[in-house]
Amino acid sequence: MHPGRLLLPVLLAAASLAQAARPMITDDARIADAGTCQVEAWARRNVDSTEFWALPACNPWGNAELTFGGAITNVEGQTHFTDNQLQAKTLFKPYEPGGWGVGLAVGTLRRVRRETARGWPGDAYFYVPVSFAAGSDDLVVHVNGGAAHHRDEHRTQASWGLGAEARINPRLYFIPETFSTDRGRPFFQAGLRFWVVPDRMQVDATYGNRLVSESRERWLSIGMRLLSPRWFP
């Protein structure tokens, strides 16, 4: 399997990854605070490759978050720039503690090194993130539904995700989820997220694989998320 095939579930399921609060793929009904920015960066070790991602995002106007970033991938000692992602996300009802929220994200993923359809615009996608508290804010459930159009294969594929954030203590969260963006069995991922500096810096670690799968599609990731103070007026 070409290592790029392992990138697609990560980006098209939510992945906005930019606002799913790393390490989740399933997105939430939240965006960065008005006038602020954030950066999510991580390394993901696959069986045959290693990816290095950075996805900066800003909310300059209050209810529209813009993300632009990408990845480089190392395969057999060779490192190449492989992916670009551009996304816009808005909320119809922001999630509030103990309540629920819903939004909409649209974006495009450009696969730089594939043989066909590698220019702009890339693969187009959209999804609707819904978040709700399961009894209290100690357990928040996220549900995504959407679709992605794969330019090189001339087909459109439905995508979905189901995840949760379970608070262990004020700084530590357990993050399980399952999601699908292709024709095979769904993927799963589970890990921990920790606030090193509350409301400013998180770190995380996860393990993922395809459900009922051999080990060729497994991955490990470590990452961090940095949130800025207000920059825009």
Q: Domains in the chain and their CATH numbers?
A: 3-227 (2.40.160.40)
What gap in Å lies between CA 108 and CA 66, rounded to an integer?
12
Per-residue pLDDT of the chain (233 residues; tens, 9 = 90+): 343 444 444 444 333 333 356 788 999 999 999 999 999 999 999 999 999 999 999 999 999 999 999 999 999 899 999 999 999 999 999 999 899 999 999 999 998 888 777 888 889 999 999 999 998 889 999 999 999 999 888 899 999 999 999 999 999 999 999 999 777 789 999 999 999 999 999 999 999 999 886 778 899 999 999 999 999 88
Phi/psi region, residue 213 (left: phi>0; alpha: psi -120 to 50; beta: rest), is: beta
Query: If residue 9 lies in a helix (H) or strand (E), which one and from where to where?
Result: helix 8-12
Both tokens of residue 150?
């794969």
pLDDT of 20? 56
Cis ω before 121 (30° cut-off from 0):
yes
Token match 């920015």: residue?
37
Torsion of CA 217, 124, 91, 99, to 10 degrees: -30
The pTM (predicted TM-score) of the whole model is: 0.87
Q: Identify any residues that bridge with 143 across adjacent strands, giving them in sequence order.
A: 130, 162
What gap in Å lies between CA 98 and CA 102, rounded to an integer?
14
